[in-house]
Structure 1
Amino acid sequence: MEKVDTAHSPDGAQAPHQFFSESLPGRTVAADIDVDGSTVAYWTYEPVNVNPTTRTILVIHGFRGDHHGLLRVADQLPEMRIIMPDLPAFGSSDPFVDDEHTVERYGRFISSFMAALGLGPKTVLLGHSFGSIVTSHFAAAHPRAIYPLILINPIAAPALEGPKGIMTKLAVLYYQASAKLPRRVGLAVLRNRAIVRVMSITMAKTKDKALRRFIHGQHDAYFSAFSDRKSLLESFKASVSGNVADVAEQLTLPVLLIAGEKDEIATLPNQHKLMERLPDATLEVIPGVGHLIHYETPVPAAAAIRTFLEEHPA
């Protein structure tokens, strides 16, 4: 497994300090733990000052990402305790032992991880993109395990249907072909910097040149930090086989949806449709941003989270 050493640099080697606060390194504690036979790396960002509104937030990142992706959002919530694991098979975490990387299996990982860290039902659960699928399905299956639920750029509709369905099916073929090629060739295809850069350019909506360079650097540094081709293909299939709407009516707890106005992956019309199906939902739309809320607009995202948690105390 190819691991990324981030223990000594919470903002990553490619992350200019201008995009993070000076207090972040002092809040950061890196650790690892055995979860169902796999070593899982996780980072805890302790609150600067504990007060009555301090909550513990467990963050689940998106497909091919790791804990770095949500770091700017965590930095904007200094009053919260934030725990961010690298999901099994991504970043510095091992893949599952003899298990397929499915939405259900990642849900069982959340249960085991919470039990290992002693996280109780007052824990806030937050998922971004693919993480929104995993966390929503977990919350639906375990209605009293967490409170409440926060979804950033939630996958609100089936990926294989609608105008984006053809592109999704082509992506499936891309991952399937890469898994079947000789190992060196397959990994070269998956980690091709030009392909990663095209993806990054497509998703980034900001006009700020420094921020765009930062985003591209983050994707260059961490987007290819996956364990192996098999687990990557399994995780990709999981990411396009489910969505939050599948379990919408079962999510009876308060849910915050943070959506990007220009999101081409999790489109705004689908966010409104999802909100209508959720029993207790709040939709916060951030203008001018797409699927990279966590990189481009962490301040309004954090403000929405803070307000939501004030309205829904433990």
Structure 2
Amino acid sequence: MSASFVSPGGAGAPRSCFVDDGGIRWRMTVRGEGPVALLVHGAGASSHSFAKLSERLARRFTAVAIDLPGHADTRVLRSFDPSLPRVADALRRLDDKLELRPELVIGHSAGVAVLLRWVLDGCARPPIVIALAPALVPIRGLVGGVFRSAAAVLGASIAPKGIAIGMATTARVDSILRGVGSVLDAAGVEAYRELIARPEHVRGVLSMMARWDVVPVYDALPTLSVPVLVVAGADDRAISLAQVREATARLRHATLLVLPGVGHLLHEEQPDQVATAINDYVDRQQRPDHAHNARARGGHPWPC
């Protein structure tokens, strides 16, 4: 069953709430009405990253954006294992509990890997997948091992507090964002500065990076039968176009779109272009029951 819900305040009224499930206190932001589009951000970000895109998608979908476990306002027990399979399984349980049944899933960077792991593990109804700047090509060999080990050491020490204190300046955050090829407005830079200033958020990011292993997802890409739209920024300095093309070539039903003049945070830089690309792709992939679901209206088991 695919869910379709109405926002009490209409498409222009976003609202946030918390959902407790399996030792995780999820924060989710809901906007719009219609079939559900689930949005999952990348490492280091939060659901705020999708604010502009959600606003545009809300004209057609119920846009549900979550904070990943350990990120921003989604809280986890210290015993939680933030490995890719465990995060994907936590998302599956959230989907089951709330009966989201999304028609469309949209991931950015590491969020794409989370969503594809969920699909590979057998989500209730495989959705259309939108992969924005997907982080799917493994960091292999010694470099990958050193990367994960360093993240583990930093996450388990007092480093998160030091990083939060030392890095959370507007100039440094703007420099980091420009370093991945993205130029955001003052509000966009401030949103990331506020995130980096939170030690628990930094700890959650480092913990996930320490357990990150995308190799099984990468190896399984040829087995995916769902339609995938891959959208990349031509100026992305975090995920190269060569990596994006490598991952796309392994997918059986993928379309690649490269947007000029944008970097890794393409959906924040050009939300109109990205929303248009998504809507056009969904139109081309229309499913037999989509029109029915889009007309369906009713309640939902969400607290927001």
Report the TM range for the smaller structure's normalisation: 0.7 to 0.9
Number of equivalent positions: 274
Identical-pair percentage:
19
Matches within 5 A, 1:73-222: 73-77=53-57, 78-96=59-77, 98-120=79-101, 123-142=103-122, 145-160=125-140, 172=148, 175-181=151-157, 183=158, 186-191=160-165, 192-193=167-168, 196-206=173-183, 211-222=184-195
1:239 Cα offset (Å): 4.1
Change (3 A) 1:172 1:286: same
Instruction: Check whether the contact 2:196–2:202 (CA below 8 A) recurs between aligned residues.
Output: no
1:110 Cα offset (Å): 1.4
Change (3 A) 1:272 1:43: same
Task: Tell me how far apart the structure 1 counterparts of residues 225 and 178 of structure 2 sit (CA, whole Å).
Answer: 37
Please provide the CA RMSD for this pair.
2.6
User: Which runs of 5 or more residues in structure 1 are unaligned?
Assistant: 1-22, 48-53
Q: Which moved more, 1:266-275 or 1:169-178?
A: 169-178
User: Which runs of 5 or more residues in structure 2 are unaligned?
Assistant: 1-9, 288-304
Matches within 5 A, 1:23-102: 26-47=12-33, 54-77=34-57, 78-96=59-77, 98-102=79-83
The one-character-per-residue Cα deviations of 1:58-86 (angstroms, maximum 9, x if unpaired) are 11111121110011111122221101111
1:201 Cα offset (Å): 2.8
Runs of 4 or more above 6 Å deviation: none
The one-character-per-residue Cα deviations of 1:12-68 (angstroms, maximum 9, x if unpaired) are xxxxxxxxxxx87x4212111111132211111023xxxxxx431011111121110
Task: Tell me how far apart the structure 2 counterparts of residues 219 and 309 of structure 1 sit (CA, whole Å).
Answer: 30
The one-character-per-residue Cα deviations of 1:237-270 (angstroms, maximum 9, x if unpaired) are 2446548533211211101111111112211122
The one-character-per-residue Cα deviations of 1:171-196 (angstroms, maximum 9, x if unpaired) are 55653443354x3x541224522554
TM-score, L = length of structure 1: 0.78
TM-score, L = length of structure 2: 0.80
Instruction: Check whether the contact 1:137–1:247 (CA below 8 A) recurs between aligned residues.
Output: no
Change (3 A) 1:82 1:217: same
The one-character-per-residue Cα deviations of 1:103-140 (angstroms, maximum 9, x if unpaired) are 001111111111111123x5311111110111111112
